[in-house]
Amino acid sequence: MLQSAKSRRLLSAAFVVLIASFAIGCSSNDEPNSPPSGGGGGLELNSPNLGPAAVYAHTMPATLTTYNYHCKIHSSMTASVIVATGGAATASVSITDNAFNPTSVTVGPGAVVTWTNNGGNTHTVTSN
């Protein structure tokens, strides 16, 4: 009884040390130039694989420019989001096999663009 309580204490102490060293290891391994959150890997548009009926929504940044993107799986699928003053607050893009429709949407800064996979195949929305 006493022995097992003792070994449990020892075990939890060892666990604390393990967690502490893991945390230290993580912080020292942080890359100096981590991309800002939201883009994932530094890409503005970076959806996961979108199966049939999957939806990807993204809030566009304030920078007025053209954000070109493509599907990682089908390189012929290309399109763009243009962020311009006076653009729409929201936009929807349909993904089919194999195209984005429309291929260009113009939205305002901070607009939410939503992609819906209406095709039968898996696609992605990935910045060029």
Interacting residue ranges for Cu ion, rule: CB under 5 A: 71, 73-74, 77, 123
Distance CA 37, CA 40 (A): 6
Minimum distance from CB of 43 to Cu ion (Å)?
A: 16
Minimum distance from CB of 107 to Cu ion (Å)?
A: 22
| CB of 71 or CB of 93, closer to Cu ion | 71
Distance CA 115, CA 41 (A): 20
Distance CA 91, CA 54 (A): 16
Q: Report which residue type is found at 47.
A: S
CB 81 within 8 A of CB 57: no
| CB of 92 or CB of 98, closer to Cu ion | 98
Minimum distance from CB of 71 to Cu ion (Å)?
A: 3
Tokens 């666990």 correspond to 15
Minimum distance from CB of 35 to Cu ion (Å)?
A: 24
| CB of 77 or CB of 105, closer to Cu ion | 77
First to last CA, the chain: 63
